[in-house]
Amino acid sequence: MTDNIQSIDRGYGYVASAEQRNKVLRNTYWLLALSLVPTVLGAWLGVATGITRYLGGGLGMIVFLGGAFGFMYAIEKTKNSASGVPVLLGFTFFMGLMLSRMITMVLGFKNGPDLIMTAFGGTAGVFFVMASLSSVIKRDLSGMGKWLFVGAVAVMVGGIINVFVGSTAAMMAISVAVIGIFSAYMLYDLKRIVDGGETNYISATLALYLDIINVFQALLALLGIAGGERD
């Protein structure tokens, strides 16, 4: 049998051919790289204008959750049409804008720019490792999905509670958990593409983008708490 016929089912249902898998992976990487541009623009706008300055506590959580789930619903509805990419890029701009509040806080430290670059480098390192592992691991990882989902829901609930509690120790514990869970999610999502379980590059990009932004944000929070230097 050739590589271009249907490969075996690895627990994902329909599995794409090798040619389709390579195309989805290539398009996903390109769109993922492109999605970082509006993220940076959104973060820059938020820092420069202070537009998210007052989105703290419950109000910030409502705006974030409402906007994020609204965008994700729209992406799911448009992923098979020409408008799917612009909607995804609009979402990444929104995420950059929401991230600007934390970036502004970190920039308040004397070593703020260094912390941001360290978080960026750490996130890139995690992605490189997971991308490498996804190409060499032969084991079926589809069973990880349900456990990772439970973990993601748990840290999200913990994060929402801590918005009102304001515990630094809890924030550090949640950040460590987020880094672990979404690093594993990164491997899981990349493996789905490699194995042909994900055939839509917009959905694939959204999944990987959420993994990356969560790891980056958690790393930045952890670095800010543990290594932020006051003037």
Q: pLDDT, tens digit, for every residue of 181-212?
A: 999 999 999 999 988 888 899 999 999 999 99
* 79 in any annotated domain: yes
Query: Does residue 98 belong to any structural domain of this protein?
Result: yes
- Amino acid symbol at 90: G
Spatial separation of the C-alpha atoms in residues 40 and 48, rounded to whole Å: 12
User: pLDDT-based confidence at 12, cuts 50/70/90?
Assistant: very low
Does residue 1 belong to any structural domain of this protein? no
Does residue 209 belong to any structural domain of this protein?
Answer: yes
User: Residue 50 — very low, low, confident or very high, per pLDDT cuts 50/70/90?
Assistant: confident
pLDDT over threshold 70, residue 108 = yes
Cα–Cα dist 180/148, whole Å: 10
Query: Virtual CA dihedral for 10, 207, 212, 169, nearest 10 degrees?
Result: -90
* In a domain? residue 41: yes
Residues in Cβ contact with 196 at an 8 Å cutoff, skipping those fewer than 6 apart:
7, 10, 12, 15, 16, 17, 20, 21
Q: Position 140: which residue type?
A: D
In a domain, 138, yes or no: yes
Residue 228 to residue 231: CA distance in whole angstroms: 10
Which domain does 196 fall in, by range?
18-227
pLDDT band with cut points at 50, 70 and 90 for residue 3? very low
Residue 184: inside a domain, yes or no? yes
What pLDDT band is residue 15 in, cutting at 50, 70 and 90? low
- Give the torsion through C-alpha atoms of 46, 71, 79, 20, to 10 deg: 60
16 vs 196, higher pLDDT: 196
Is 4 a domain residue? no
Q: How far is CA 205 from the centre of its chain?
A: 9
* Number of independent structural domains in the chain: 1
